[in-house]
Structure 1
Amino acid sequence: MNYLNSTNNQYGGTYVSPKNLPDSSDAFVSQLNESLKIWQTQKIKVVWIKIPNARAKLLPLLYQAGFMNHHCDVNFMMLTLRLEDGAVIPPFAKHTIGVGGLVINDNNELLTVREKDHIKTHPHNWKFPGGMLDPYEHIEDGVIREVLEETNIQTEFHSFIGFRHHHQGQFNTSNIYAVCRLKPLTLDITIQESEIFDAKWFPIDDYLADEKIGKYNHHILQSALKNQGLESINLPGYMSSVQDYEVFITQ
């Protein structure tokens, strides 16, 4: 075969899988050049080529042919080449998702933490325990996990309260921070010493009266005290598995 075997998609693009890359760089250049002629004849709009780490020597050859980086993971680089002027190349994911656990005990106290990274710059930043979602992790699962990791407090999900969206996230991404109300199942705090400076059950009235507490935390706590929030539900038949989605609505 003197060209790269590829799979066309519904948007006028074509994709070259790592399994279809020839063994040698010389063969790759020859097949790529021939393929570009074929793809242009076929009116292909965008070419996608996935290069695994083990074939990284092919990257300079693709750059010389005009390919651009699109996205990567720890094991590969995805490159694209626009063959039609104005053809749409959708951007890769530009958002991260964080979660915060709003945990209130029967004594009307709020579970709060101070992070080590903030203790010098924001020493009064008593915040909800939480962190970043893992890949393919549900919000409901992630917030319970983060609270447990940071404070050793076991919880169960109650409701989705709200979220904040801003454009100052890690690595020039935008960030969505979702806050969920959780019911505590245990009360004794043991901090995650690698990340957390200290933690405590903060009386809610004192927390709301404290002007040093961030405005967003004040507002989201007040909302949680006034409203039930959104429940997590399953929708039979919506997707093949409940592991593929989450839905939060009012009931």
Structure 2
Amino acid sequence: MQHLNSTDNRYGGTYVSPEDLPEKKSDFAGLLFESIKIWKNHNILVVWIKIPSSRADLLPILYNLEFENHHSGNDFIMLTKKLQEEAIVPPYAKHTIGVGGLVINSENELLTIREKAHVKKYPHNWKFPGGMLDPFEHIETAAMREVFEETGVKTEFESFIGFRHHHQGQFSTSNIYAVCRLRPLTCEITIQESEIADARWFPIEEYLSDEKIGKYNKQVLTSALNCSGLESIKLPGYMSSDEDYEVFLSR
């Protein structure tokens, strides 16, 4: 009997791509069973198989052979099976990343927003505008984008202030929340009515003295007022394109 084509990786595993799958479902179980025997004889540690949504009918066969879900996208599921007891399957990403834009104008006022989703339960939660990173988006780009989307204020990046990490993120993930200091290029506020209840330029002294404002936001603001933060730099030759990475280091 024939077997499935696959591509070995440097970690002792092998990968079956959607292009390696047989056209007929009836052929898949036999080919997979035979392939597993061959992979074990060649000391392959782990098998990775990517199943596109259009071939979801193959999933029961994989589950019957004790394959496990590893991760998925909008149009595929990646499954794995350990073939050797000592095999290690690295976990899929379990973090989400959010950004906040700390924007201070020439009048020593802080740009703040209240979200519609929180305004009833937390009516005094005046926070930095921000949101979640889009796939493959840079932190500094996301911070400027989110500030503009939520408040209509255009900004430019100044420095990276810091981040908070906790384990109560969306969909049972951990979350990293990164804050960037941004310089305002405009001041007029136009809120994103679908998500934002209101926005305002909040006098900094008033913000810091307000007992209802959260401790974390106050601490971030105090830190930004007392230090310049980390600079965004590029390292010639570090990667093939400067668009592939971002690095923040002290000035």
**Fold-level similarity (TM above 0.5):** yes
How far off its partner does 1:30 sit?
A: 1.1
Count the aligned residue pairs.
Answer: 251
Letter in 2 for 1:72: S
Question: How far apart in 1 are the matches of 2:159 and 2:225?
Answer: 12
Aligned to 1:23: 23
Letter in 2 for 1:235: L
Letter in 1 for 2:37: K
Aligned to 1:123: 123
Given the two structures, how large is their TM-score scaled by the length of structure 2? 0.99
Give the alignment's Cα RMSD to 1 decimal: 0.7
Aligned to 1:151: 151
Given the two structures, how large is their TM-score scaled by the length of structure 1? 0.99
Aligned to 2:88: 88
User: Would you say 1:106 and 2:106 are equivalent positions?
Assistant: yes
Structure 1: 4+ residue segments shifted above 4 A:
none
User: Would you say 1:214 and 2:214 are equivalent positions?
Assistant: yes
Letter in 1 for 2:101: G
How far off its partner does 1:121 sit?
A: 1.1
Aligned to 1:75: 75
Letter in 1 for 2:148: L
How far off its partner does 1:147 sit?
A: 0.2
How far off its partner does 1:87 sit?
A: 1.0
Question: How far apart in 2 are the matches of 1:243 and 1:75?
Answer: 26
User: Would you say 1:204 and 2:204 are equivalent positions?
Assistant: yes
Question: How far apart in 2 are the matches of 1:239 and 1:157?
Answer: 22
Residue by residue over 1:134-193, the C-alpha shift from the partner in whole angstroms, topping out at 9 and shown as x without a partner, is: 000000100000000000000000000000000000000000000000000000000000
Aligned to 2:233: 233
Question: How far apart in 2 are the matches of 1:4 and 1:159?
Answer: 51
Question: How far apart in 2 are the matches of 1:27 and 1:208?
Answer: 68
Question: How far apart in 2 are the matches of 1:10 and 1:84?
Answer: 16
Unpaired runs of at least 5, structure 1: none
Question: How far apart in 2 are the matches of 1:121 and 1:62?
Answer: 46
Letter in 2 for 1:151: T
Question: How far apart in 2 are the matches of 1:245 and 1:85?
Answer: 36
Question: How far apart in 2 are the matches of 1:24 and 1:33?
Answer: 15
SS of the residue corresponding to residue 176 of structure 1 reads strand
How far off its partner does 1:2 sit?
A: 1.2
Unpaired runs of at least 5, structure 2: none
Letter in 2 for 1:2: Q
Question: How far apart in 2 are the matches of 1:94 and 1:244?
Answer: 21
Question: How far apart in 2 are the matches of 1:144 and 1:150?
Answer: 10
Letter in 1 for 2:179: V
Aligned to 1:132: 132
Question: How far apart in 1 are the matches of 2:33 and 2:60?
Answer: 14
Aligned to 1:177: 177
SS of the residue corresponding to residue 54 of structure 1 reads helix
SS of the residue corresponding to residue 183 of structure 2 reads strand
Residue by residue over 1:45-73, the C-alpha shift from the partner in whole angstroms, topping out at 9 and shown as x without a partner, is: 10000000000000011000110000000
Question: How far apart in 2 are the matches of 1:145 and 1:59?
Answer: 40
How far off its partner does 1:86 sit?
A: 3.0
Letter in 1 for 2:161: I
